[in-house]
Structure 1
Amino acid sequence: MLLTILTIVVVSVALIAGAVWGVYGRIGRGVEGFILAAAGGALMVSALLELVDPATKQAGVWPALGMMMTGAAVFTVLDYLVDHVWKSGAGAGLLVAITLDGIPENLALGVSLIGAGPLEVAALAGSIFLSNLPEAAGGAKRMADSMGKTGTILLWAATAAILSGAAIAGNFLLSDVGEGPLALIRSFAGGAVIASLATEIFPKAFREDHLLAGIATALGLAAAVWLRSLSGG
């Protein structure tokens, strides 16, 4: 229980640390893009190997792939609503956008922690941390001009609290669910993570660092594979 809470809190704290970095520090576009690309590579392999692939063995290939596609479709619809219907430029809209973007990753993290050892979730937790840090820094930097430094940091802190609570609640509420349904939930979360990578992380990483984005992505993927190999996976 303590490991679960600590892992989720540490990952979510990256949002606050990133916001402080973006408001008070300096972040180069190349550095932000490189970190995002590395995190995206790690998240891609983690979503596949820790969430989708095990689900195909526990719940069957077609049910697992169907839930993966459902997760991707749900994220895509919500992402469209945030960008084009709810207009994420306003303060409330920004909170919705940030929260929806983080829900798939935090759901995946919370679910993957059920019955897992430290090394089995290290790659997923580490990659989410790396993606949260520059994402929060870049977002906070843009938001500070209209909302002020204090308001921006408070917004990101509130978002971190919401995402931490959701991940912890999901972890506890789903702890007694059978392996088959749990596998399908993992696959759904994996599909949502993959969709968020394609629509949010990789495009932004390439815009910020088009020269080294490919190398950074491969580096993040290699790191995730290495961490997973430590657990014998």
Structure 2
Amino acid sequence: MLITILVVFVVSMSLIAGALWGLYGKLSKNTEGFLIALAGGALIVSAVLELIEPAMEDGDVLLPLLFVFIGALVFTGLDFYVKEKWSSKSGGAGLLAAITLDGLPENLALGVALITADPLAVAALSGSILLSNLPEAAGGAKEMKDDGRSKRSILILWTGTAILLSAAALVGYFFLENVSKDILNNIRCFAGGAVVASLAIEVFPKAFKEDKYWIGLATALGLIIAFYLNSLS
């Protein structure tokens, strides 16, 4: 249990660290793009090996894949609403909302994955979420500062988001422990679909915009790291 709480804490607190980085540090566009692509490569592996594939081990293929599609559909719809109805009017707040929509299924999945897995088995998932949180929070906080928000209010917003995402992971771990395996599998696949959609809509386009062709190598490196961490379990 202690390791679980520690993993959740480190992953979610990376949002606060990223916000501090964006407010007080220097973040080059190339560095941001490279880190985002690195996280994206790791998330590809994590979504498949930690979320989707385990749900298909019992032989049922169609239902898990349906929930993958539903997860992608829900994330896409919510992300569309944020960008079209909110982001254009509120700058960095729209990015904050998009990160929250992305982070909720990711952290819920992290909590669910920790129920039956050794901590090393989810190292790739937690590590890739951490890597993606840092540059995304840094970019979002910097954009909010440029929009005229005070540094104090920005830190309060990102701290609240970190607490919310921590709660999602802990809910996944503590309150879904006794539910049926089928329900856990459906949750994993839903989260996996949401992660895949976030990669296509948010992660790789932003990484390419910031770092151009180096993101190919960064994505491959993230994939290699995730596969290696998964092999340790």
TM-score category (smaller protein) = over 0.9
Residues 59 and 187 (structure 1), Cα distance of their counterparts in 2 relative to 1, 3 Å cut = farther
Aligned partner of residue 58 in structure 2, secondary structure: helix
- Note the alpha carbon deviations across 1:150-206, whole angstroms, 9 max, x for none: 111111111101111121112211110111221111011100000011100110001
1:89 offset after TM fit, Å?
Answer: 4.0
Structure-1 separation of matches of 2:50 and 2:113: 7
Unaligned runs of 5+ in 2: none
Total equivalences in the alignment? 231
Amino acid at match of 2:220: A
* Equivalent residues in 2 for 1:74-223, closer than 5 Å: 74-87=74-87, 89-90=89-90, 95-145=96-146, 146-223=148-225
Structure-2 separation of matches of 1:219 and 1:93: 30
- Note the alpha carbon deviations across 1:65-86, whole angstroms, 9 max, x for none: 0000000000001101111124
1:95 offset after TM fit, Å?
Answer: 4.6
Structure-2 separation of matches of 1:138 and 1:24: 12
Aligned partner of residue 182 in structure 2, secondary structure: helix
Whether the 8 Å CA contact 1:59–1:184 is kept in 2: the answer is no
Match of residue 8 from structure 2: 8
- Note the alpha carbon deviations across 1:51-100, whole angstroms, 9 max, x for none: 10111113611111000000000000110111112446437655533321
RMSD: 1.5
Structure-2 separation of matches of 1:220 and 1:161: 26
Structure-1 separation of matches of 2:189 and 2:119: 20
Match of residue 69 from structure 1: 69
Amino acid at match of 1:97: A
Whether the 8 Å CA contact 1:59–1:180 is kept in 2: the answer is no
Which TM-score applies when normalising by structure 1? 0.95
Structure-1 separation of matches of 2:165 and 2:14: 12
Aligned partner of residue 58 in structure 1, secondary structure: coil
Structure-1 separation of matches of 2:218 and 2:96: 29
Q: Out of 160-169 and 122-131, give the one that drifted further.
A: 160-169
Amino acid at match of 1:96: A
Whether the 8 Å CA contact 1:55–1:64 is kept in 2: the answer is yes
Unaligned runs of 5+ in 1: none
Residues 138 and 92 (structure 1), Cα distance of their counterparts in 2 relative to 1, 3 Å cut = closer
| 1:22 pairs with 2:49 | no
Aligned partner of residue 104 in structure 1, secondary structure: helix
Whether the 8 Å CA contact 2:96–2:140 is kept in 1: the answer is no
